[in-house]
Amino acid sequence: MKKFFLLMFFALTLVNVAFAQNFKTGNDRFSFKVQPFVGTYLSPNGNLEMLDPAAPSGLNFGIEFPSDRQQPWQQYLNDPALGVGVSYVDLGHRRMGNAISVYPYIMLNCVRTKYFELAIKLASGLAYCSEIYWNNEQTPDNRDNPNSHFTYGSHLNAYLNGGLNLNIPLTRNFILNGELGFFHMSNGRIKEPNMGSNILYGGVGLVATINPEEEKEPIQFPDLPYRWSLNVTLSAGAHSADLTDGRSYLINTFHVGAIYNVCNWYGVGLGADVFYNDAINSNTNRGLYVTTNEDGTPKVYKNKDQIRGGVSINNELQFGRVTAMIDWGVYLYNPVRNFYNDGDSPYYKIGEERPLFYKMHRAGADEAWHYIRFGVKCRVWDNIYVQALAKTHMHIAELVEFGVGYNIPFISKSKRKSSDDIIFHNRKGWWKNY
């Protein structure tokens, strides 16, 4: 608690300095935010219960840029604010150390009145964790030492954050800010161990706004000129199969998805996925798959066992060049489902033929018959995009991968100006032609 009040005092000092130097009138240009917070671990995993860390606490810093209504996506999404954040977290134990994360974020307005504003915050970035499993001088055979932790297996981790943000104006340039949120840090099994952490937090801070002298006239934009679009993506990454294995394996995904754009910022559709995982072989120590047959002979996995295929429901939240993706899929081809090394399963024996939709004993004992994919993609030129994506079974990550793809939006017949205008291209000032 003493640490929390010291952080609050530091935050108040910083914001008051910024506020005193930048008191102007006019339209907001950007805001400087400082927010102390304190949290709690959700479902502590690994040996966190043995370590019994104190409540994680820290500081959120942010620079936010409100909408100037000069881009179509700003108008479509009710003028959201964009921001760049930096967070410092004391993880509550000397063995856990601390973490510093850097992330872009968006504030989606929900309620805006004269007296308060309520928004949803969505963020994704990278976190650096100071203490990891190997830093604590542990060996693969000594992983249960209560003086260590195996929450993070690498210094660099993915950072995902979401929550509710409340602004209460105090003066023209001074705002009281509150936030209730959740963030997750893990490496997506790029390197073992990868227990990761989930932290629920609450914070109260202050915001100083800085303003220009001129207000831009809002531009009125037409609706997007297409309803259907096609995504074709090829991605790859590295996968760490087991803590004792000491190796990384290649993973690949080929995805094709048809999206119906319900409105200017949301699309839903169906996709087909083909996955390749080189960790499904006889040379890995990964405990998920059997390594010997019933007669004791070595189990040899064939090339076809490394391939899985499925169909998925695709959801896209579109923020101009950036799109957030959430997919849920079902495996239609999954030959290794019969070789999960779960001798405690009350439903199936090892090697027994499993149905397409099989019963799961527990998450982590085998991989689910369905999968979840979530990530972001960014359009870099014309309709070409790059993406970063995580694939999970239930709440356990299988992999993180990076890819490149092409988006093909088919212009509606009513919007076509000539027989050559069939595919929409995101050119500058495209709305002038529609």
Tell me: do 278 and 206 sit in the same domain.
Answer: no
Helices (H) and strands (E) in the chain, counts: 3, 16
- The stretch 411-426 carries a mean pLDDT of 84
Report the pLDDT value the prediction gives residue 13, as an integer from 0 to 100. Answer: 43
Tell me: do 6 and 121 sit in the same domain.
Answer: yes
Residue at 395 is within a domain: yes
When mean pLDDT is compared over 7-21, 221-235, 337-351, the highest value belongs to 221-235
Report the pLDDT value the prediction gives residue 17, as an integer from 0 to 100. Answer: 40
Report the pLDDT value the prediction gives residue 46, as an integer from 0 to 100. Answer: 62
When mean pLDDT is compared over 20-24, 71-75, 267-271, 388-392, the highest value belongs to 267-271
Q: Which two tokens stand for residue 377?
A: 């993609």
Counting other chains too, the contacts that 24-27 makes at CB distance below 8 Å and 24 or more residues apart are 24/173, 24/210, 24/211, 24/213, 25/172, 25/211, 26/211, 26/212, 26/213, 26/214, 26/215, 27/211, 27/212, 27/214, 27/215, 27/216
Beta bridge partner(s), residue 153: none
- AA letter at 425: H
Cα angle 320, 326, 327; round to 5 = 130
Of 249, 238, 336, give the one whose Cα is nearest residue 284.
249
- The stretch 214-219 carries a mean pLDDT of 72
How many angstroms separate the CA atoms of 352 and 357, rounded?
14
Residue at 335 is within a domain: yes
Q: Which two tokens stand for residue 288?
A: 């998920």
CA atoms within 13 A on the CB side of 239: 24
pLDDT, tens digit, 9 for 90 and up, residues 9-36: 444 444 444 443 333 334 567 899 999 9
> Measured between alpha carbons, how far apart are the two ends of the chain, in Å?
58
- The stretch 382-409 carries a mean pLDDT of 91
Tell me: do 195 and 245 sit in the same domain.
Answer: no
Write down which residue in 210, 240, 265 finishes a domain.
Answer: 210
pLDDT of 375 above 80 = yes
Range(s) of the domain holding residue 374 = 226-433
CATH at 152: 2.40.160.20
Least confident among 19-33, 219-233, 244-258, 364-378: 19-33
Residue at 95 is within a domain: yes
Of 269, 271, 273, 270, give the one whose Cα is nearest residue 235.
273
Tell me: do 194 and 230 sit in the same domain.
Answer: no
Domain count within the chain: 2
Residue at 218 is within a domain: no
pLDDT, tens digit, 9 for 90 and up, residues 125-179: 999 999 887 666 655 555 556 666 778 888 999 999 999 999 999 988 889 999 9
Q: Which two tokens stand for residue 244?
A: 């004792």
Residue listed under structure tokens 């990868």: 194
Tell me: do 38 and 119 sit in the same domain.
Answer: yes
Residue at 221 is within a domain: no
Q: What is the pTM of this model?
A: 0.82
Quickly count: other Cβ atoms within 10 Å of residue 232's Cβ.
13
- The stretch 210-233 carries a mean pLDDT of 84
Write down which residue in 175, 210, 245 finishes a domain.
Answer: 210
